[in-house]
């Protein structure tokens, strides 16, 4: 059970197991593939626990990031977003994102290209990689089309 593991990790660090912390984790885990903001998580969590405060969400997210349970991602739209970390489950997944500069649409995909890079970084700098993110920016199919049309009309 995923939850027991989380409880154990909390206790190992001397942190307390609270309903709020379990709920935040469950909320994120319940929306796989999405990139929720703190406020979105707050909204979802309140469905099941109406008195939970936004500050608790933020504080819990910090804890979860620190414990490597979730990852922070940012698509440069002014929000920090969170998604379930891969580190715990398998050795390495490899979630990457392509972000449209025009409409902001995010395409997620997987790929395994970074092993050699990460090894080289350890060899040359002694840097130990615990997570990675590949962020591609550009134009999605629809916006690329529009952009081409705009160019013609100008």
Partner DNA sequence: ATCAATGCAAAGGTTTTGCAAAAAT
Partner DNA sequence: ATTTTTGCAAAACCTTTGCATTGAT
Q: Where does this chain bind its own copies (CB under 8 A)?
A: 72, 74, 76, 80, 96, 98, 100-101, 107, 109, 111, 113-114, 116-118, 120-121, 125-141, 144
Name the residue nearer to DNA (CB basis): 51 or 120.
51
User: Between 50 and 111, whose beta carbon lies closer to its own copies?
Assistant: 111
Q: Which residue has the tokens 């550009």?
A: 138
In the range 75-134, which residues lie near DNA by CB under 7 A? 78-80
CB of 143 vs DNA, minimal distance in Å: 19
End-to-end CA distance of the chain: 59
Size of the site for DNA (CB under 7 A): 27
d(CA 10, CA 12): 5
Q: Which does 67 bind (CB under 5 to 8 A by kind): DNA, its own copies, none?
A: none
Which residues, listed in sequence order, are joined to residue 110 by a DSSP beta bridge? 95
Q: Does 59 bind DNA (CB under 7 A)?
A: yes
Contacts of 72 (CB under 8 A, 6+ apart): 65, 80, 81, 82
Compute the distance between CA of residue 29 and CA of residue 63 in angstroms, rounded to an integer.
Answer: 15
Query: Does 20 sit near DNA (CB under 7 A)?
Result: yes
Spell out the residues 6+ positions from residue 116 whose beta carbon is closer than 8 angstroms to its own: none
Q: Give the residues lining the site for DNA (CB under 7 A).
A: 10-11, 14-21, 37-39, 49, 51-56, 58-60, 62, 78-80
């Amino acid at each position: 059970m995923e939850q027991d593991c989380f409880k154990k990790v909390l206790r190992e660090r001397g942190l307390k197991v609270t309903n709020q912390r379990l709920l935040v984790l469950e909320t994120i885990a319940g929306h796989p593939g999405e990139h929720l903001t703190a406020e979105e998580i707050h909204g979802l969590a309140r469905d099941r626990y109406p008195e939970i405060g936004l500050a608790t969400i933020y504080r819990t997210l910090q804890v979860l990031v620190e414990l490597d349970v979730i990852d922070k991602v940012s698509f440069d739209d002014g929000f920090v977003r969170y998604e379930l970390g891969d580190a715990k489950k398998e050795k390495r997944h490899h979630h990457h994102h392509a972000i449209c500069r025009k409409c902001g649409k995010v395409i997620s995909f997987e790929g395994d290209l970074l092993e050699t890079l990460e090894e080289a970084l350890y060899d040359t700098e002694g840097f130990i990689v615990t997570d990675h993110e590949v962020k591609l920016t550009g134009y999605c199919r629809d916006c690329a089309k529009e952009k081409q049309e705009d160019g013609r009309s100008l």
